[in-house]
Amino acid sequence: MLKRNKYILVTGSSSGIGKQTALDLLKKKFFVIGISRNRPNIKNSKYLHLSLDLSDRASDKKILKSLKNKKIKLDGIVNNAGINLPNKFDKISLEDYNRVLKTNLEAPFFLTQKLIPIIKRGSTLINISSFSSISGGPYSSHYAISKSGIETLTKNLAIFFRSKKIRVNAISPGLINTNMASNFKDHPYFNRILLNRVGTTAEISNVIQFLLSEGSSYINGQVLNVDGGMFLR
């Protein structure tokens, strides 16, 4: 079970998986620190929102300073924030490449690094990857690269944090009903899904909560595919 009265930081909390996760944790009486450029419509005394752009490395210091000022120590981090700017390989500009990599890979790397002083011993870190890390991203090479990097980072951090008994895992969602996958039926892999449907944000949130809980105490350095069986046919 998840222990209450814990502080969980969730990036990308304004929509999709991040917002769903924040709401679900709040329902279970957790304190949630949400980070995104836009403030979500979440009204709860246990919710603290920081409106920041995670592609800007100055945000890392601001987050650390804000949490230190409030004497908050983190019991968990969900590195969920991500963007995709779909395009064919030969049409991806350096600007778009940098925007995607800075948000999806650079931010989890350096934000986690900056927050080390306030991450409690025995905490749990979760990084959100994507099925694109497996498929190679049929239409978004830069996005696929960023998610492959997230999975490697996950394993590296599990090794790095071992002395503090901090577990680090990743979740690789398949097609999930969010704004990012609004045209899921047109996706070339939609017909591969054995369950014949897309996933919901609640289903990903459930796995996040499991990985944050003591029920997953022996899972470390792993990537959990939550894709409805996308790559089995």
Active site residue 143: yes
Q: Which long-range contacts (CB under 8 A, 24 or more apart) does 44-48 make?
A: 47/22
d(CA 16, CA 212) in angstroms, rounded, equals 19
Which two tokens mark 201? 């944000």
Candidate list 7, 47, 143, 218, residue with the active-site label: 143
3-state secondary structure of 208: helix
Amino acid at site 169: N
User: How many whole angstroms separate alpha carbon 89 and alpha carbon 52?
Assistant: 30
- Strand partners of residue 170: 127, 223
Q: Which two tokens stand for residue 68?
A: 């230190």
Distances (CA, A) of 178 to 97, 149, 182, 204: 22, 22, 6, 11
Distance CA 98, CA 94 (A): 6
Distance CA 216, CA 77 (A): 15
The total number of residues written for the chain in this structure: 233
Place of tokens 């796995």: 207
SS3 (DSSP) at 217: coil
Q: Show which residues are catalytic.
A: 143
